Structure 1
Amino acid sequence: MKKIILFADTGIDDFIALTYALKNPEVDLLGVVSGYGNIEREKTYRNVEYLLELAGRTDIPVIAGATRPLSGEEPAFFPDIHGIEGLGPINPPIPEERYSNRSNFSKLFDLIKNNRNDVTIVNVGRCTSLATAHYLSPEVMEDVKETYLMGGAFLEPGNATEVAEANFYGDPIAANYVCRHVANLTIVPLNVTRNALLTPGDVHFIDTRSDSPLEELIKPILDYYYEVYQQQEPGIAGTPQHDLAALMAALDIDGLYEYKKREVKVEYEGNFAYGESIADFRPGAGDCFGPTCTRITMKINQDIFVSNVLKILTNDR
């Protein structure tokens, strides 16, 4: 069983990743670090607590993450994609103001110290909170077993700009720091997660097997997400589950991914390539070695992805 701490900015695809983690018997969810990203930090924190309450898992601690990027600039949010409250058509009945002015990384560090060399971090939002944790207590963060990022785009256009993926673009200083300094790092980039699709038929099937208040949110939220994607990319077969794809990489599912190992850096200066993830994929470039070498998922097996997701989310175990 994987002991996972999830770093999220809980919008729609974060919600699906969280639901999957709660339902998968192979996942021991130790805690959730909730930061800004898709929406404001106060709303992401509120959303996590609301979802854990629906799941009957209020025993899982929620830790307040970053409120803005390391540059200090005001972050840009995406209500047109995730809805005003971050969960599409759902309005959680909890005021976001309850979660303002909080920060408690000591709770995160205690979780890691109590599970030394046995914690997997999965970061599916901006890298700010993760970079901050490494800066505040590098000696504790050295005891993290492995780290997974959803972020970047290699050999494919970005979704925030022509070249940059949204998580890396949202704080490229933090993304570059994590990519250059965090050991045992795996990146699951946009060029892979975009193919982690759930079709309307898949979602309908999941809905027919839902048996909890949390699971009953899946269809209305993903139906909303599907309509958003139809406007952005008319004809796309389903909704990309970016964050779920990163979480599933941490579970070592046989045959799900193909990998290459490269050194990765993120452009955090200038205008034209701001937030771009960079690795050497020129002909003749081979796998790298050493502490700054990052494993990158290059290809996903869509059939294995869908089969596994349906198994977990329909209680077919």
Structure 2
Amino acid sequence: MKKVILIADTGIDDAIALIYALKNPDVDLLAVVSGYGNIERDKAYRNVEYLLKLADRTDIPVIAGATRPLSGEDPIFFPNIHGAEGLGPIDPPIPEERYSNRTNFRKLFRLIKDNPGEITIVNVGRCTSLTIAWYLSPEVMGNVKETFVMGGAFLVPGNATEVAEANFFGDATAANFICKNVPNLSVIPLNVTREALLTPNQVDFIASRANTRLEKIIDPILDFYYEVYQEQEPGIEGTPQHDLAALMATLDLPGLFTYKKRKVRVQHEESYANGLSIADFRPGTTDCSGEGCSRIAMEIDQKKFVKQVIKVFADYREKR
């Protein structure tokens, strides 16, 4: 069983990743760090607690993360994509004000100390909270087994700008720090997450087998997400599950992803290309090794992705 700490800015695709972690028996979710990104930090925190309550898993600690990028600038939120509260049409009955003025990494550090060399961190939001944790205690963070980051776009267009993916663009300084300094790092970029699609028919099938309060919110939030994507990209077959793909990558499912190892840098000095993820894929280049070398997911087997999602969300296994 994989021991996971999830760092999220809990909009719709983060919520789907969290639900997957809660439902998958191969994932032991130890904690969730909630930070700003898709929505304000306090709303992200509130959304995590709401989902954990629906799952009857209030034993899982929620840790308040960063409220803004390392630059100190006010973040840009995306209510047009994730809804005003971050969960599409869902309005959680918990006031977000309850979570103001909370930033405490003591719980995070204690979990890592108690599980040395066993924890996988999955960062599916901005890289700010993860970077702050490394700034505060590199000794403790050095005990993390491996780190997966959803972010970047290599040789494909961005989704925040023409060249930049949203998580790296939202705090490019933090993203660059993580890519340069965090050992055993896997980067799960738009190259693969953009292809991790769930179609309306597949979502309807999942909804038809939903029995719990947690399972029953998958359908309305993904329906909302689908309508948003139809406006942005008319004709797209489904909704990209960016964060779910990154979480699924931690399970090392055979043949799901193909990888290349490269040193990654993120353009973080204010320019037109802010947030651009950079790696050397020129002909003749080969996999790197050693310090600063990251594993980058380059391709995904979409059929295997959907099969795994259906298996976990709908408790469904194909007959042989």
CA distance in 2 between counterparts of 1:113 and 1:270 reads: 37
CA distance in 1 between counterparts of 2:161 and 2:316 reads: 40
Post-superposition Cα deviations, 1:62-96, rounded to whole Å, max 9, x if no partner, equal 00000000000000000000000000000000000
Secondary structure of the structure 2 residue equivalent to 1:298: strand
* AA at the equivalent of 1:28: D
Q: What displacement does 1:316 show?
A: 2.9
* AA at the equivalent of 1:312: V
- TM-score normalised over the length of structure 2: 0.98
Unaligned runs of 5+ in 2: none
Q: What displacement does 1:21 show?
A: 0.3
Q: What displacement does 1:166 show?
A: 0.2
CA distance in 1 between counterparts of 2:8 and 2:115 reads: 20
CA distance in 1 between counterparts of 2:77 and 2:270 reads: 21
* Structure 2 counterpart of 1:293: 293
Secondary structure of the structure 1 residue equivalent to 2:107: helix
CA distance in 1 between counterparts of 2:167 and 2:308 reads: 25
CA distance in 2 between counterparts of 1:287 and 1:299 reads: 16
Secondary structure of the structure 1 residue equivalent to 2:294: strand
* Structure 2 counterpart of 1:6: 6
Secondary structure of the structure 2 residue equivalent to 1:163: coil
Unaligned runs of 5+ in 1: none
CA distance in 2 between counterparts of 1:56 and 1:270 reads: 44
* Structure 2 counterpart of 1:216: 216
CA distance in 2 between counterparts of 1:259 and 1:191 reads: 11
RMSD of equivalent CA atoms: 0.6
* Structure 1 counterpart of 2:146: 146
CA distance in 1 between counterparts of 2:90 and 2:100 reads: 21
* Structure 2 counterpart of 1:203: 203
* Structure 1 counterpart of 2:90: 90
Q: Does 1:309 align with 2:315?
A: no
Q: Does 1:232 align with 2:242?
A: no
CA distance in 2 between counterparts of 1:188 and 1:252 reads: 13
* Structure 1 counterpart of 2:164: 164
CA distance in 2 between counterparts of 1:120 and 1:234 reads: 37
Q: Which runs of 4+ in 1 moved over 4 A?
A: none
Secondary structure of the structure 2 residue equivalent to 1:76: coil
Post-superposition Cα deviations, 1:170-227, rounded to whole Å, max 9, x if no partner, equal 0000000000000000000012100000000000000011111011000000000000
Contact 2:38 2:82 in 1 (8 A): yes
* AA at the equivalent of 1:200: P
In the comparison of the two structures, how many residue pairs are matched? 317
* AA at the equivalent of 1:153: A
Q: What displacement does 1:271 show?
A: 1.7
CA distance in 2 between counterparts of 1:61 and 1:316 reads: 30
Q: What displacement does 1:291 show?
A: 1.6
- TM-score normalised over the length of structure 1: 0.99
CA distance in 2 between counterparts of 1:211 and 1:309 reads: 16
* AA at the equivalent of 1:51: L
Q: What displacement does 1:110 show?
A: 0.4
Identity %: 71
* Structure 2 counterpart of 1:63: 63
Q: What displacement does 1:272 show?
A: 1.2
